[in-house]
Amino acid sequence: MALNDGKWVLIATILASSMAFLDTTALNVALPTIQASLQASGAQLLWILNAYLLMLAALILVGGSLGDRLGRRKIFMLGISLFMLASLACGLAPSIQWMIASRVVQGIGGALMIPGSLAIIAAFFDDAQRGKAIGTWATAASIVTVAGPLLGGVLADAGLWRVVFLINLPLGAVALSVLYFKVPESRDEAASNQIDILGAILTVLGLAGVTYGFITAPELGYSNPQVYGTLATGAAALAVFGLVEARSQHPMLPLGLFRSRTFSGSNLLTLFLYGALSVGIFFLSLNMIQAQGYSKSEAGSALVPFSLLLVALSRWAGGLADRRGPRLLLVIGPALSGLGFLFMSFAGLTRGASDYWTAYFPGVMTFGVGMGLTIAPLSTAVMGSVAIHYSGTASGINNAVSRMAGVLAIAIVGSIALFLFAGALRERTASLNLTEKARSALQAEAGRLGAATVPVEVGTENAAAVATAIKLAFVDVFRWVMIICAGLAWISACMAAILVEPRVSRSE
């Protein structure tokens, strides 16, 4: 029996979205294996994530605008094609430099692809069917979110981390075929043909400068002109971006929307909470695999309760926000998320996965409940605080803010972690009888974070003690990172309490 056009639209959009969701969720668990395989430093490990997130954050609003103006199907297919080609390059990467460059292209593809999924669904389905279609799409996304860490762990344990990227090729090929043969083109005929190219360039320069400065600071020092120069350039570009958007006739970021306290508060909440989410899950996976001795599949399984709670609570929390308003949930949810991070900061060096239930499970559950209470009410607050004709723009801005939060948090907190790890390793090995040559070699290894190995200069008599010191030093850093994440989550709760209105009312 032939599928009707609506089902073809859903198949294409779900398959394309699955590429992005799988790439994000499976990659976190596979990163330690990628680091070992490509001999990446700690800074390069951060760039594997941030090269993608940087381009996605900077260009996702442009991607949505291009779809409205030039054709949603056309831009969606272009994004999928770029994402596939970059995934192939990532899967074949012979070096860390190749991998990072490929992730840049993958981010550009994602920026063209990700806004297209919901835009095509919204354009194709009428009011009576749209909600059900979006619900089907969201359910599929939730399933992929649950499956991603498990898949990444299993593939990494089997030595097949490249398949994390290569699996995008068949998914993308089917999506492109369905789009080409079965999905009609759509565009916004009233949309202006002008694209905010200057805004996009300034965003890329600004985020790239800030990210590069923070990530290289632990190695070069903040007094190095290359560090403070790129930080200053990045900050200046972002400041100029704000001025350009305020004066532009067709801004990528309409600043007038921020006159709504709820819209401003919701996006500030997103900035702090999603920054904590990005850093927290990244370092939790590294800690479990590199310090605690979990297998990759065990580390992937450890995140499943979090994903299941998102699926279980999001629909209920969204309905409650519709009836009672989103503010209370946007205070309670991030506050609980912060408490979850705090719980995880108490864990020391454990006996491995057998201690998961006491060391990490309570924190993961609390964190999952907090995020499950937050995500749907956050969407309600963002979409309900602006006029209806700005709904797409508001959603795009919030999406971009969540990605920007990941870029900045991973760069800044990752930089702090690199500094802290070098210091913690010095302290943990201070009492050992090591030569100056051995200590220098060990500090050189500190740049690899938890993937640091025992240098041959240490000698066999101290090798076991140094190996334990490396793990303990990383656990020290992990604890501080979790405390920082808790603080970010609690700041986001304060933003909701102060700025989000009890009942959302649309701006005109």
Q: Which of 184, 211, 229 is the last residue of a domain?
A: 184
pLDDT at position 192 is: 62
Q: Are both 228 and 84 inside the same structural domain?
A: no
Q: Are both 242 and 385 inside the same structural domain?
A: no
pLDDT at 2 over 50: no
Average pLDDT over residues 393-397: 77
Average pLDDT over residues 269-289: 94
Q: Are both 161 and 290 inside the same structural domain?
A: no
Would you place residue 334 in the very low, low, confident or very high pLDDT band (cuts 50, 70, 90)?
very high
Least confident of 32-41, 80-89, 97-106: 32-41
DSSP 220-279: H-TTSHHHHHHHHHHHHHHHHHHHHHHH-SS-SS-GGGGGSHHHHHHHHHHHHHHHHHHH
8 A C-beta contact, residue 14 and residue 371: no
pLDDT at 508 over 70: no
Count: domains in the chain: 3
Q: Alpha-carbon distance 135 to 152, whole Å?
A: 26
Mean pLDDT of all residues belonging to the chain: 87
pLDDT at 454 over 80: yes
Q: Are both 234 and 285 inside the same structural domain?
A: no
Asked if the structure places residue 189 within a domain, the reply is: no
Asked if the structure places residue 104 within a domain, the reply is: yes
% the chain with pLDDT above 70: 94
Q: Are both 86 and 229 inside the same structural domain?
A: no
Q: Are both 165 and 208 inside the same structural domain?
A: no
Asked if the structure places residue 192 within a domain, the reply is: no
Task: Write down the pTM of the prediction.
Answer: 0.87
Asked if the structure places residue 191 within a domain, the reply is: no
Would you place residue 193 in the very low, low, confident or very high pLDDT band (cuts 50, 70, 90)?
low
Asked if the structure places residue 436 within a domain, the reply is: yes
Would you place residue 1 in the very low, low, confident or very high pLDDT band (cuts 50, 70, 90)?
very low
User: 10 Å Cβ neighbour count for 3?
Assistant: 12
Q: Are both 43 and 84 inside the same structural domain?
A: yes
189 three-state secondary structure: coil
Asked if the structure places residue 190 within a domain, the reply is: no
Q: What is the CATH number of the domain that holds 152?
A: 1.20.1250.20
8 A C-beta contact, residue 141 and residue 15: no
Least confident of 128-132, 134-138, 160-164, 479-483: 128-132
Q: Are both 223 and 314 inside the same structural domain?
A: no
Residue span of the structural domain in which 201 resides: 197-251
Q: What is the pLDDT of residues 98-120, one digit of tens each?
A: 999 999 999 999 988 888 887 78
pLDDT at 149 over 70: yes
Q: Which of 251, 274, 291 is the last residue of a domain?
A: 251
pLDDT at position 167 is: 93
